[in-house]
């Protein structure tokens, strides 16, 4: 079982590497502004989990520099996820709001929808600004 999981994980990571999406290009200022917003986010993930790969690809497409915390490799990250989110399940997006409140969002589809609705609208202006 562990061998099958390893083979599948390697396959997922290889395909992800071969078909890495291109990130949107922004002007330096627009990217800095974006980075300020995404500094309040962190993705708890496993490297080879297909749901996590899906979320990381969505981040890459939008050039969102969101910190990632590998729950399998870091005991601290695992503790944070368990005590904050309540479940040892990935992917999970930690969202800190302007008031310092924290939300833990599970489900890859919900995370991608959140990222798209919050950040995708900023793409056209940013692309125009850099071209």
Ligand X SMILES: N[C@@H](CCC(=O)N[C@@H](CS)C(=O)NCC(=O)O)C(=O)O
**27: its two tokens:** 């002007």
Span from 2-10, 11-19, 86-94, 121-129 in contact with ligand X (CB under 6 A)? 86-94
**80: its two tokens:** 């944070």
Count the residues of the shown chain that bind ligand X, applying the rule CB under 6 A: 10
| HEC-encoded secondary structure of 81-105 | HHHHHCCCCCCEEEEECCCCCEEEE
Q: Does 51 contact ligand X by CB under 6 A?
A: yes
DSSP designation for 59: H
The residue among 48 and 127 lying less far from ligand X, judged by its C-beta, is: 48
Q: Does 44 contact ligand X by CB under 6 A?
A: no
Q: How far is the CB of 8 from ligand X (least distance, A)?
A: 10
Q: Does 91 contact ligand X by CB under 6 A?
A: yes
H/E element, 2: helix 2-18
Q: Does 115 contact ligand X by CB under 6 A?
A: no
Among residues 25, 78, 89, 118, the one that binds ligand X under rule CB under 6 A: 89
Span from 12-20, 43-51, 74-82, 117-125 in contact with ligand X (CB under 6 A)? 43-51
Choose among 118, 125, 129: nearest CA to 66.
118
Ramachandran region of residue 16, left (φ > 0), alpha (ψ -120 to 50) or beta? alpha
Residues near ligand X (CB under 6 A): 46, 49, 51, 88-91, 107-109
């Amino acid at each position: 079982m562990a061998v099958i999981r390893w083979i599948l994980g390697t396959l997922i990571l290889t395909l992800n590497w071969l078909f890495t999406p291109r990130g949107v290009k922004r002007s330096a200022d627009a990217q800095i502004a974006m980075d300020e917003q995404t500094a309040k986010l962190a993705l708890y993930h496993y490297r080879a989990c297909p749901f996590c790969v899906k979320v990381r690809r969505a981040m890459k497409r939008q050039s969102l520099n969101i910190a990632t915390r590998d729950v399998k490799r870091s005991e601290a990250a695992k503790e944070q996820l368990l005590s904050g989110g309540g479940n040892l399940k990935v992917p999970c997006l930690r969202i800190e709001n302007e008031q310092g409140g924290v939300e833990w969002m599970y489900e890859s589809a919900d995370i991608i929808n959140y990222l798209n609705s919050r950040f995708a609208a900023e793409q056209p202006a940013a692309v125009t600004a850099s071209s």
